[in-house]
Structure 1
């Protein structure tokens, strides 16, 4: 079986828990000329696979890519296979991904080290409802797949961030928070230059539900009800967050594929 995978087969997996871990192995000079990366990709040196592979989650499929899917990807893939990793390479590289319309991240926002050599750590207020679940989902699916999240008493979030270097979000006075009529999810999309129409649609639904403007998007009322119900039944914020990811995986899939689909009874009724 070929280890080369076409972009069209991988794009539907982005924004789901079935996505492989994308590894950007472009040479540093190439990456400096074009900082755009596949959504959720980490950068690693293609000549140092033995150094960085042990730091990645075991059992997760890896897909490496370079600019055009040439020798740099081939070297990284060969080393990964020798090490026993389940891995493939993106046929045509980043150029093919962009041409196929795959989601991308155009830049790194403040607090994120280029290439994500270590997992980013984020902290926000405890007892999340909507935006504080949507943001971790967006970060894990599109920005940093290894990101770590903490929830704390609101009065200590900024102090904790200053002492530890963690990234605070969705609290007043920090970089990643509400701006005007938009919410923190919107800020993340803007700050990282995420190019994906379906994600922009989802962000509008989150904004409507999170800011009590349910008239902006019809789906906002449903998201609000499900989010409040999940919060009411789950006392552990981290468990609630992980369960909430399914809501956003589903809503994102709807934004991508099912906005024109209807449902009625009996079948076929208008």
Structure 2
């Protein structure tokens, strides 16, 4: 049974992907991580050995700590975090408990190299519409919450990627791009191992809006309209991305929690 300092895998799974998800800190030893180089979606790696040094960076926030089985490493790290004014809990059963529950895991080997601050860096074409907002949302909510996105002239994406050690996406002839009928958002879900029912539903919407095949999802025309509207509202691509994060938060929560809900008028209409 969970205590006030632990959280169950099922409860954590409901928090991941939402705007207010806690920081998820993986403190497995290097040996344990080498044996299974996957991460709970959104987790960042930190060493338990210097928790006293980095714990202050999370001050005032909430965090979940994950070790192999939810024992000494997670418990000790969470205690350090609470000492630094962090509302810290440990994952019940740890990484092994999450695996036993058959919940999604991200293959860390698919991630691009991190910069000096531990962030993945990505680059794509400026003036985003659909895929180039949807993919950053997916990455920040499920892969790397601190990811950096560079929007540059289309002709310079590959060169910028090479010079600034950034992973290019949503352009032709790169790994993170369209494949056949799939758009880049689909590819990222597949490659990162995030094929949950809500994300697959959202992927159909994104694919329909991004490729002009609006018949793929009844919601695709609405997503396209909202995306094109945002592109007209913002001259700054990063401001558009921040607004787009809220847009995709809303669509994701609908995909996950509200597809069976309807809204009718008038409110006092008698039920048959």
**Could you say whether these structures have the same fold, taking a TM-score greater than 0.5 normalized by the shorter chain as the test?**
yes
How far did residue 110 of structure 1 move?
5.1
> 1:159 & 1:23 partners in 2: Cα distance?
33
- Alignment correspondent of 1:203: 203
> 1:10 & 1:196 partners in 2: Cα distance?
15
Q: Secondary structure of 1:22's partner?
A: strand
How far did residue 2 of structure 1 move?
2.2
How far did residue 95 of structure 1 move?
3.2
Count of residue pairs brought into register by the alignment: 268
Whether 1:220 and 2:220 are equivalent positions in the alignment is: yes
How far did residue 241 of structure 1 move?
0.4
Q: Secondary structure of 1:73's partner?
A: helix
Larger RCO: Structure 1 or Structure 2 (Cα < 8 Å, ≥ 6 residues apart)? 1
Whether 1:191 and 2:191 are equivalent positions in the alignment is: yes
- Alignment correspondent of 2:54: 52
> 1:43 & 1:153 partners in 2: Cα distance?
33
**Equivalent pair of 1:205/1:220 in contact (CA under 8 Å):** yes
Q: What residue ranges of structure 1 are gaps of 5+ in the alignment?
A: none
Residue range with higher mean Cα deviation, 150-159 or 43-52: 43-52
How far did residue 94 of structure 1 move?
2.3
- Alignment correspondent of 2:175: 175
Q: What residue ranges of structure 2 are gaps of 5+ in the alignment?
A: none
Aligned ranges 1:1-270 → 2 under 5 Å: 2-53=4-55, 56=57, 58-100=59-101, 102-109=103-110, 111-112=112-113, 118-267=118-267
TM-score (norm 1): 0.91
After superposition, give the CA deviation of every residue in 1:23-79 in whole Å (9 maximum; x if it has no partner): 11112222222223210001111112134335x455331110112211121121122
**Equivalent pair of 1:108/1:191 in contact (CA under 8 Å):** no
**Equivalent pair of 1:47/1:75 in contact (CA under 8 Å):** no
Relative to structure 1, the CA distance from residue 209 to residue 161 in structure 2 (aligned partners, 3 Å threshold; closer, same or farther) is same
Residue range with higher mean Cα deviation, 39-48 or 77-86: 77-86
Relative to structure 1, the CA distance from residue 134 to residue 58 in structure 2 (aligned partners, 3 Å threshold; closer, same or farther) is farther
Query: Structure 1 residue runs of 4+, over 6 Å off?
Result: none
**Equivalent pair of 1:43/1:117 in contact (CA under 8 Å):** no
How far did residue 100 of structure 1 move?
4.6
**Equivalent pair of 2:58/2:86 in contact (CA under 8 Å):** no
Residue range with higher mean Cα deviation, 155-164 or 92-101: 92-101
After superposition, give the CA deviation of every residue in 1:222-243 in whole Å (9 maximum; x if it has no partner): 0000000111111111000000
How far did residue 107 of structure 1 move?
4.0
Relative to structure 1, the CA distance from residue 166 to residue 141 in structure 2 (aligned partners, 3 Å threshold; closer, same or farther) is same
Relative to structure 1, the CA distance from residue 266 to residue 97 in structure 2 (aligned partners, 3 Å threshold; closer, same or farther) is farther
Q: Secondary structure of 2:89's partner?
A: strand
Residue range with higher mean Cα deviation, 209-218 or 63-72: 63-72
Q: CA RMSD in A?
A: 2.2
Residue range with higher mean Cα deviation, 45-54 or 11-20: 45-54
